[in-house]
Structure 1
Amino acid sequence: MDPNLISKKELLELTGISYGQLYRWKRKNLIPEDWFIRRATFTGQETFFPREQIMSRIAKIVHMKDDLSLDELADMFSPHLAGTKLTYDELVEQNIVSANTLELYTKYQGKPEVFSFEQVLYVYVLNRLLITGEMSLDESGGLLQVLCDHYPSFEGKPCELIFVRKMGISTFVLVPGATEVHFDSGVKIVSRLNLAACIEELKAKM
Structure 2
Amino acid sequence: MGEELISKKELLSLTGISYGQLYRWKRQKLIPESWFIKQATTTGQETYFVKEKILKRISFILNNKEKYSLEELASILSPTFTDRRFPAEELRKIPWLDEGVIDQFQQHGPKDYFTFMEMIVLAIMSKWKQQWKLEEKEMSEWAASIKKWLPQLKNTSYRLIMCQKNREKLYLLADQNASFFLDDRTQELETADLDEWGKELHRRLSENDYAARREGSADGIVT
Give the distance between the partners of 1:95 and 1:20, measured in 2 at CA. 39
Q: Deviations for 1:29-71, whole angstroms, at most 9, x for unmatched residues?
A: 2112332223344444432222222111111111111121112
Q: Secondary structure at the match of 1:79?
A: coil
> What is the CA distance between 1:5 and its match in structure 2?
2.2
**Residue of structure 2 equivalent to 1:21:** 21
Give the distance between the partners of 2:114 and 2:59, measured in 1 at CA. 31
- TM superposition score normalised by structure 2: 0.66
Give the distance between the partners of 2:126 and 2:70, measured in 1 at CA. 31
Query: In the superposition, relative to structure 1, how do residues 20 and 146 fare at CA in structure 2: closer, same or farther (>3 Å)?
Result: farther
**Residue of structure 2 equivalent to 1:48:** 48
Whether 1:81 and 2:84 are equivalent positions in the alignment is no
Give the distance between the partners of 1:163 and 1:146, measured in 2 at CA. 11
**Residue of structure 2 equivalent to 1:172:** 173
Q: In terms of mean alpha carbon deviation, does 14-23 or 160-169 score higher?
A: 160-169
CA contact (8 A) 2:118 2:150 kept: no
CA contact (8 A) 2:124 2:192 kept: no
The list of structure 1 runs, each at least 4 consecutive aligned residues, that deviate by more than 6 angstroms after superposition, is 165-169
Give the distance between the partners of 1:40 and 1:142, measured in 2 at CA. 47
Give the distance between the partners of 1:184 and 1:115, measured in 2 at CA. 30
**Residue of structure 2 equivalent to 1:162:** 159
CA contact (8 A) 2:39 2:46 kept: yes
Q: Secondary structure at the match of 2:92?
A: helix
CA contact (8 A) 1:8 1:47 kept: yes
Give the distance between the partners of 1:19 and 1:147, measured in 2 at CA. 43
Query: In the superposition, relative to structure 1, how do residues 161 and 182 fare at CA in structure 2: closer, same or farther (>3 Å)?
Result: closer
Identity of aligned residues (%): 30
**Residue of structure 2 equivalent to 1:204:** 207
AA aligned to 1:112 is K
State how 1:92-103 maps to structure 2 within 5 Å: 92-103=92-103
CA contact (8 A) 1:85 1:115 kept: yes
Give the distance between the partners of 1:13 and 1:34, measured in 2 at CA. 21
Q: Deviations for 1:1-46, whole angstroms, at most 9, x for unmatched residues?
A: x563222221111111112211221222211233222334444443
Q: In terms of mean alpha carbon deviation, does 119-128 or 22-31 score higher?
A: 119-128
Give the distance between the partners of 1:43 and 1:162, measured in 2 at CA. 40
Where structure 2 has 5 or more consecutive residues not aligned to the other structure, the ranges are 183-187, 210-223
AA aligned to 1:198 is L
**Residue of structure 1 equivalent to 2:112:** 113
- TM superposition score normalised by structure 1: 0.70
CA-based RMSD: 3.7
> What is the CA distance between 1:116 and its match in structure 2?
5.1
Give the greater-gyration-radius structure (CA). Answer: 2
Give the distance between the partners of 1:160 and 1:71, measured in 2 at CA. 29
> What is the CA distance between 1:76 and its match in structure 2?
1.0
Give the distance between the partners of 1:105 and 1:16, measured in 2 at CA. 46
Query: In the superposition, relative to structure 1, how do residues 49 and 90 fare at CA in structure 2: closer, same or farther (>3 Å)?
Result: same
